[in-house]
Structure 1
Amino acid sequence: MTPDVSVIIPAYNAAATIGRLIESVLQETRVALELIVVNDGSTDATQRIVSEYTDERVVLLGQDNQGVYAARNAALAIHRGEWLVFLDADDTVSDGFIYERWRTATETNADVVLFNAWCGERHDRPVHRRQPYGERISGHQWLRHCVSHPEWPHYLWLQIVRSAYLREHGMAFHAGKSHKDILWTVQLAVNNGRFYVSDRKDYTWHTNSASITHRPDYYDHRARDYIDVIAELHRLASLPENHSIQRSLRRHALVEARHFLGLYRRRVLDLAGVKVAFRSRIGRRELWRGIRSASDLCFFIKLVARLW
């Protein structure tokens, strides 16, 4: 029997939270599901905790520590569900979370449905506020909307995605330690499937101070991964089939360059090395073509002064 939904959870040293999340997922009985947990080389009790579940819906994969995106790719390669949901091991979901996402996706006949979420336990700050709620739009329309407003809700745990859509376009995650959820979501939109956006807030996002992305010695890698994102956005903008969203992709690249520069100025240790990496892959002309406002122009001047 093909599951309705595959739930993928990458886990690295998640012993304190993974059991709670698994219990939440397995409470769902209204849809057929499989739960794939990928133990990404944990050194704590994560492997033991997950392996103790005897529910046949639980699938445990193990790998050496390769990062969250490699873990998700490992699960993508074997998942069987008609729909796909990504979760993080340290977050919490509301009752009926999977069912409501599956129901919305099937009723709207979308390829990608985006939901909302709360930031932190107080539930007073949603992840996004400017989305086209309740509308059925194309991926290209959604991308243009996000760039023009501006708001880019790229977090994987906002999404439920039709598996056939992923297979049709051969989608997988780019290698790297961070920011590749940006490129995943861009590719979902670039492939121009059917999108639907719901304001249902069925997820709580917690920041994890122990996460590798919060280690001071990791900011150089994060900056280099932003370079990957900017270069890929420029590459996508250059493709003839993306002519109708070319301007939006270039503007999006300039926005990500803002994030890069903020990191570069405040966190990066190897300034010279990261500067060389940026200049070797990112052209001023392409960045210039993303300018749409006076604010963009001022930023471009600052960026060039700092890096060239």
Structure 2
Amino acid sequence: MKVSVILCVFNEEKFIGNAIESILNQSLDDFEFIIVNDGSTDATLDIINSYDDERIKLINQENIGLGASRNKAMAKASGEYVMFLDGDDWFGLDALEIAYNEAKSKNTDITIFQIKYYDDETGNVSGNDWFDLNSFDESFDDCVFAPGACRDFLFDLSVNACQKIYKNSFLKESEVKFVEGIYFEDMPFFFEIFLKAQRISIIRKHLYYHRKHAKSITDVIDCNYLDTVAAGQELMRRFIENGFYEEYKFDLLAYKINGPRFALSEIVDECKEPLFDLIHEDYLEIKDSIYYEDFLKELGPVKRKFFLDVIKCKNYDEFKMSLD
């Protein structure tokens, strides 16, 4: 088995057919297709069951969330390589073949490819710096590199799990798992798995299409973004536990501050106060930790001011007044 494709879905009846067909019609046919129906309450399961293909392995379960579902599917994956697909997205029809041949020929732990944005409302297709791999200059083309080569732009890379093909034996040996029980489960997973890899390559071809629509989690700044705090806490924990912290702390601390800082400025109004409360609690814990001095020393002036203002303000209204 060359590739295990993992698709975890919850209530994706509108798009799931397109996602499934993009896999079943691949130019490479030596794959298993693990579909996890994570407690859908719409017609998603009926649509999955309408496909009669022996390569499909269905896991039908009560809802446990995307991170836990991916972990469950990863444990069952038997392919030489593993790829992920979201239920509202799709792969180009030669994506598995191109990604597998690149990873196999270069014996990589991780190979990263390009993604196109598809706007469901307008039908426009576009890219961005993250999805187009613009952080990688031409010296990264057609070669194998270690994560240290990306030291200066690590936190500019896309954390999207679906943008990569992973060697299955490496996934199992590394024991890296997705965070369970929160949104943004991709982010801590990506940084840990990337920094544990030894052989990485890129493909400058758009193999994956990410659909932007009204209910897309990462494209709507709603109360799901409360989980940026928990995701940042988990990221810090993994860097510390794996011995990555000292080398990357300057950029890591800036990245940890920037996520919630951006979310607080853009999130819908009814979620601003609860998000501030979570950030405030997190920063008070940092203030009482051995890492507090690192935040004061390593953060630039804008991020340090945000950090200290959140600590000193008792509530969101007081914080808003400090901005005036």
- Bucket of the pairwise TM-score, normalised by the shorter protein: 0.7 to 0.9
Specify the alignment match of 2:263 in structure 1: 263
Structure 1 residue 188, shift from structure 2 partner: 1.1
In structure 2, the gaps of 5 or more residues are 313-324
Contact 2:113–2:203 (Cα < 8 Å) also in 1: yes
Structure 1 residue 151, shift from structure 2 partner: 1.6
C-alpha separation between the residues in 2 aligned to 1:201 and 1:189? Answer: 20
C-alpha separation between the residues in 2 aligned to 1:10 and 1:40? Answer: 7
In structure 1, the gaps of 5 or more residues are none
> Kindly tell me: are residues 202 and 271 of structure 1, through their superposed partners in 2, closer, same or farther at Cα, counting changes over 3 Å?
closer
Specify the alignment match of 2:230 in structure 1: 228
Contact 1:226–1:257 (Cα < 8 Å) also in 2: no
Aligned residues: 294
Specify the alignment match of 1:274 in structure 2: 278
Specify the alignment match of 1:125 in structure 2: 127
Specify the alignment match of 1:60 in structure 2: 58
C-alpha separation between the residues in 2 aligned to 1:273 and 1:156? Answer: 29
> Kindly tell me: are residues 213 and 155 of structure 1, through their superposed partners in 2, closer, same or farther at Cα, counting changes over 3 Å?
closer
Structure 1 residue 280, shift from structure 2 partner: 4.4
Contact 1:9–1:38 (Cα < 8 Å) also in 2: yes
Specify the alignment match of 2:147 in structure 1: 139
Map 1:194-209; keep pairs closer than 5 Å.
194-209=199-214
Structure 1 residue 19, shift from structure 2 partner: 1.3
Match of 2:305 among 295, 301, 308: 301
Paired amino acid for 1:301: K
- What does the per-residue CA deviation read over 1:20-66, in whole Å, with 9 as the maximum and x for residues that have no partner? 22112111253410111111111111101111222110011122222
Question: In terms of mean alpha carbon deviation, does 78-87 or 27-36 score higher?
Answer: 27-36
Specify the alignment match of 2:103 in structure 1: 105
Contact 2:27–2:93 (Cα < 8 Å) also in 1: no
Structure 1 residue 228, shift from structure 2 partner: 2.8
Question: In terms of mean alpha carbon deviation, does 167-176 or 98-107 score higher?
Answer: 167-176
Task: Tell me the TM-score normalized by structure 2.
Answer: 0.82
C-alpha separation between the residues in 1 aligned to 2:109 and 2:102? Answer: 11
Question: In terms of mean alpha carbon deviation, does 60-69 or 132-141 score higher?
Answer: 132-141
C-alpha separation between the residues in 1 aligned to 2:14 and 2:242? Answer: 48
Match of 1:47 among 45, 49, 55: 45
> Kindly tell me: are residues 84 and 231 of structure 1, through their superposed partners in 2, closer, same or farther at Cα, counting changes over 3 Å?
same
**Residue 158 in structure 1 maps to residue 163 in structure 2:** yes
Map 1:23-38; keep pairs closer than 5 Å.
23-28=21-26, 30-38=28-36
- What does the per-residue CA deviation read over 1:222-261, in whole Å, with 9 as the maximum and x for residues that have no partner? 33x322333334334445843xx63424413322311201
C-alpha separation between the residues in 2 aligned to 1:100 and 1:213? Answer: 27
**Residue 184 in structure 1 maps to residue 211 in structure 2:** no
Specify the alignment match of 2:253 in structure 1: 253
> Kindly tell me: are residues 61 and 249 of structure 1, through their superposed partners in 2, closer, same or farther at Cα, counting changes over 3 Å?
farther
> Kindly tell me: are residues 75 and 238 of structure 1, through their superposed partners in 2, closer, same or farther at Cα, counting changes over 3 Å?
closer
Paired amino acid for 1:230: G
- What does the per-residue CA deviation read over 1:50-105, in whole Å, with 9 as the maximum and x for residues that have no partner? 11222110011122222211211121121111100001111122121111110111
Name the SS for the 2:86 alignment partner.
Answer: coil
C-alpha separation between the residues in 1 aligned to 2:273 and 2:260? Answer: 14
> Kindly tell me: are residues 217 and 298 of structure 1, through their superposed partners in 2, closer, same or farther at Cα, counting changes over 3 Å?
closer
Match of 2:80 among 79, 82, 104: 82
Paired amino acid for 1:74: K
